[in-house]
Amino acid sequence: MKLFQIEEPDGSPSDPDAPGAAVGIDASGALAEVAVAVGGNAAMLADREGFERALPVPAADASAAEWQALFEGAKLRAERGLARPVTHAVVALAAMPDRAAALILLQAAAAAGLDVLRVVPVDEFAKGETPAEAAAIMAEDLASRPETP
């Protein structure tokens, strides 16, 4: 009997302490959309067929639990689509929340395992840009990356 060893393509396991992917979350409409950017090129992320999950956007004054459910769903969609951890996000909203609502939003994201890099009102994006994709490009630019030797 022969045994085979299966390794990562480069021969080493991935670093569990490395930051995960950064995504853009558009929470400006009735349903949230999630996108990722690589090299400044953004793409929308969708749930796999048979695993579709609606991501309803809570009201601006919603509880932390409702916002956490949204962030958990967005993170799950992104991690399934990318097949890697997601740890950072830029969140696009219809309007900037007040201080109390922003704190709830940030706490809910942290509870879902996301570090919010920035909250952006959609009117800050250029006309014709998809808010989720524009937020993803911003997230890619803002996310910390490990230093290369």
Q: For the chain of 149 residues, list the mean pLDDT of each consecutive stretch of 10.
A: 49 58 96 95 92 92 96 96 95 95 96 97 92 96 67
Whether the CB-CB separation of 88 and 115 falls below 8 Å is answered with yes
Helix runs in the chain, H state only: 64-82, 99-111, 131-142
Beta bridge partners of 109: none
Q: Which residues contact 52 (CB under 8 A, 6 or more apart)?
A: none
Q: What pTM did the predictor assign?
A: 0.85
Count of positions (residues) in the chain: 149
